[in-house]
Structure 1
Amino acid sequence: MTHRDPPVIHTTAEAHEESALPCARVVHTNADAPPTPECLPLPPGIAAEPVEAKSPAQWAYERLVLYIQNFESQLNADEEIALGLTGGEAGVLQIEGIGYFAPDILTFYGRDEGGARTQLIQHVSQLNVMLVAIPKAEEEEAPRRIGFHLARGLSGEDDQQA
């Protein structure tokens, strides 16, 4: 005869709450590492819609916004965020906008190292993003923080939906 643990019984509220929580984990080698999106609660604008109801593009976009905002919160005043492109000699894209086209496309808008307008269109299955801190443009008084603009979009502010 084998030993079996008794089944875990959840209330409807507990089951609903557990289904809304994403599965995420992070381990850092530095005990003083700042909190990262994997260990922070989801903002209400993201948590309001169940993950199962989101397209892969929307869910990837929302999590990317959290990573960008977290990365930017750790930048110095003379730095801005850029996107390091992988594969070939693509270089770096200074992020000016990010969007998604459900169910599976993400788009990054910005400028390359030479200042040329750039757009990267990426399938979610190919998503591979490296966030890079670059010096802010000299003519800018304050560094741009796109993560905070994107977060406002998640809560319905600054939203430009088609």
Structure 2
Amino acid sequence: MSEIKTTAEAIENAALPKSRAVHLSNCAPTPEQQPLPKGVTDKPLSEKSPAEWAYERLILYIKNFEEQLDNNHEIAMGFTGGTTGIMRIEGMGFYAPDIISFYGSDPEGGRTQQIQHVTQLNVLLRALPKKVDQPEPNRIGFRLAQDLEQD
């Protein structure tokens, strides 16, 4: 016998994001396996543009990836489906309703920017050695996550 729900509960459950992850071996919990931060759940999903919702979830993936890096590495992204190389992620944004942007530099220090439509979003997160002349690796994921909580 199925559980009876109120209309409000049914609407709320339909609007809640759904996620799942299965891994071959034991690993640190991934974003799909963790509760969403309050800064993400404050605004109902139905009021977010596809770009805003993609941006928030990318932040969770980036922060989770960085949490598993040692002090000699920092996050970068590789470009999927092409031979254009990789970019150190130094910033990220969205332009509602449908654009995500990444700001950074290539391994030689050249300024780079990637602009993608949410329907074409493909991000390959990579670990790169930190720059030799900096004592600590950059952690953009933690800064992005703090910004989510301030909204």
> The TM-score by the shorter chain falls in which range?
over 0.9
Q: Aligned runs of 1:22-33 on 2, under 5 Å?
A: 22-30=17-25, 32-33=26-27
SS of corresponding position for 1:155:
helix
- Distance in 1, Cα, partners of 2:7 & 2:40: 21
Does 2:80 correspond to 1:86? yes
Letter in 1 for 2:105: R
**Residues in 2 aligned to 1:39 and 1:152: alpha-carbon distance in whole angstroms:** 20
1:113 Cα offset (Å): 1.7
Q: Which has the larger radius of gyration?
A: 1
Matches within 5 A, 1:6-17: 8-11=3-6, 14-15=9-10
Q: Determine if the alignment matches structure 1 residue 118 to structure 2 residue 112.
A: yes
Superposition pairs of residues 11-160 of structure 1, within 5 angstroms: 11=6, 14-15=9-10, 18-19=13-14, 21-30=16-25, 32-156=26-150
Structure 1 residue 19, shift from structure 2 partner: 4.2
Q: Which amino acid aligns with 1:97?
A: G
Looking at structure 1, the residues matched to 81 and 17 of structure 2 have their Cα atoms a distance apart, in angstroms, of 30
TM-score by length of 1: 0.87
Q: Which residue of 2 aligns with 1:3?
A: none
Unaligned runs of 5+ in 1: 1-5, 158-162
- Separation in 2, partners of 1:122, 1:59: 14
TM-score normalized by structure 2?
0.93
> Displacement of 1:88 after TM fit?
2.5
C-alpha RMSD of the superposition: 1.6
| Percent identity of paired positions between Structure 1 and Structure 2 | 56
> Displacement, 1:129?
0.3
Query: How many residues are treated as equivalent by the alignment?
Result: 151
Higher deviation after alignment, 79-88 or 123-132: 79-88
C-alpha distance in 2 between matches for 1:15 and 1:43:
22
Which structure is higher in RCO with an 8 Å CA cutoff and minimum separation 6? 2
Instruction: Kindly state the Cα deviation for residue 20 of structure 1 after the two structures are TM-superposed.
Output: 5.1
Q: What's the counterpart of residue 160 of structure 1?
A: none
